[in-house]
Amino acid sequence: MDFQFSDEQIQVRDMVRNFAEREVAPHIQEWDSKGEYHPEVLYKMGTEGILGLPIPERYGGGGFDYVSFALACEELEAVDTFLRVVMSVHVGLNSLTLHQWGTEEQKKRWLVPQAKGEKLATFGLTEPGAGSDAGNIQSRAVLQGDHYVLNGEKMWISLANTADHFLVFATLDPSKKHHGLVALVLERGMDGLTTGSLHGKLGVRAGDTGWLNFNNVKVPVANRIGEEGEGFKIAMSAIDQGRFTVGAGAVGLIRASLDASLKYCHEREAFGQEIGKFELVQQMIAKMVAGYESSRLLILQAAALKNQGIRNTRETSLAKWVACDHAFNAANDAIEIHGAYGYSSEYPVERYMRNSRGAVIYEGTREVHQLVQGGYALGYRVDRPLRCPQPPAQAWEKETAGA
């Protein structure tokens, strides 16, 4: 593994960093405290090419590799989690899934405008009664001629009130559990599709989180991704991509907590010296440094595998679990270092703490990832080949072609 970033990767990192610091950083404390959502930021991300970074150029994207994608997620979440969430649902869960499983016609219809940022997309798997237990999905799709009739509800959906395209999952036969799922693309404006917002969230208050409701929605068979019964495999491959973005973003949150703490350690004095001089404070700083470096290395390991199109479920699960736990701990220690000020919105660390908690839950709770890692180590869990394996990053294809 090459630990030196290429000029192209550095350019992507710097471009995304400049965007986030220019467009969001000056306003995020106010937006978060008021619970204000500003969708215009998402369209600016599209204009900058951020929403299509890892999508091949032939489908309207930037054709960048997964290391570039990880660096982009890190920079976005270093400013605020709601920015990385967009990368998770629009790019990771939806667009990259279309790239892996969609037909050429479907890619031209949905992936191209998504990669260009002309249309926003999201992902609907979680339901009021089904989270980690995806095989217990209650949304029902019934085939009637050339279309499915869809009924049900999805909950905790990012971009629910903003997205134009929805990749959702429903059961064809509840008795078959995860073997009976189907993946369907819905478009805003379809009769019977309604969306709404959720309020009162602990974190990611500047983001759009809501619900989807399906009341006899007619979905053409042409909108089915993959085959009937492949929905669970498609969902899990999508979550591999989503977990990667969550873990990469958590690296940015660790860095933000560390940077804020370093700054405060030099500003604040107690007993006649900077608080950074105290050994227990240095201990907390050291843990943040260790968490940042180890989490970043795990993400880069997963990125290297993704660049080659190699199955990386185990590596991505480990990276997501470790990075999110470190982000939560780093934010907690940052509040401790800031003392009473860390408990107020005068400093950003209380926002980091609130935002960090969600990532420990979504895209697989820490307990789920512990079971995943234990299963692999014991040999109980073995990856089977997928009909549509993950394509390698376009940048990797370019290098191979020129070798």
Q: Residue ranges of the domains in the chain? A: 7-120, 122-229, 232-402
Based on the residue annotation, tell me whether 363 is a catalytic residue of this protein. Answer: yes
Mean pLDDT of 194-203: 96
- CA 74 to CA 123: how far, in whole Å? 21
Q: Are 376 and 314 in contact (CB under 8 A)?
A: yes
- pLDDT at residue 135, rounded to an integer: 82
Record: fold of 232-402: Butyryl-CoA Dehydrogenase, subunit A; domain 3 (1.20.140)
Residue 370 has pLDDT above 60, yes or no: yes
Record: fold of 7-120: Butyryl-Coa Dehydrogenase, subunit A; domain 1 (1.10.540)
For the chain, give the percent of residues with pLDDT over 70: 97
For the chain, give the percent of residues with pLDDT over 90: 94
Calculate the alpha carbon distances from 54 to 156, 158, 343, 352, 367 in Å. 25, 20, 38, 27, 30
Place of tokens 């991509």: 241
Tell me what the pLDDT averaged over the chain comes to.
95
- pLDDT at residue 397, rounded to an integer: 53
Catalytic residue among 363, 367, 397, 399: 363
Calculate the alpha carbon distances from 147 to 18, 45, 254, 332, 393 in Å. 45, 34, 46, 50, 34
Quote the pTM value. Answer: 0.95
pLDDT band at 396 (very low <50, low <70, confident <90, very high): low
Residue 398 has pLDDT above 70, yes or no: no
- pLDDT at residue 401, rounded to an integer: 46
pLDDT band at 131 (very low <50, low <70, confident <90, very high): confident
- pLDDT at residue 152, rounded to an integer: 98
- pLDDT at residue 395, rounded to an integer: 55
- Fold match between 7-120 and 232-402? no
Options 2.40.10.10, 3.30.160.100, 2.30.30.240, 2.40.110.10; CATH of 122-229: 2.40.110.10
Q: Are 320 and 363 in contact (CB under 8 A)?
A: yes
Q: Running DSSP on this structure, what letter comes out for residue 146?
A: T
Query: What are the tens digits of pLDDT across the range 317-359?
Result: 999 999 999 999 999 999 999 999 999 999 999 999 999 999 9
Instruction: List the single range of 66-80, 129-143, 304-318, 338-352 with lowest mean pLDDT.
Output: 129-143
Instruction: List the single range of 132-136, 187-191, 311-315 with lowest mean pLDDT.
Output: 132-136
Query: What are the tens digits of pLDDT across the range 13-30?
Result: 999 999 999 999 999 999
pLDDT band at 375 (very low <50, low <70, confident <90, very high): very high
- CA 6 to CA 387: how far, in whole Å? 33
Bridge partners (DSSP) listed for residue 153: 213
Mean pLDDT of 76-96: 98
Report the phi/psi class of residue 5: left, alpha or beta, with left for phi > 0 and alpha for psi in -120 to 50: beta
Mean pLDDT of 231-236: 96
- pLDDT at residue 399, rounded to an integer: 44
pLDDT band at 130 (very low <50, low <70, confident <90, very high): confident
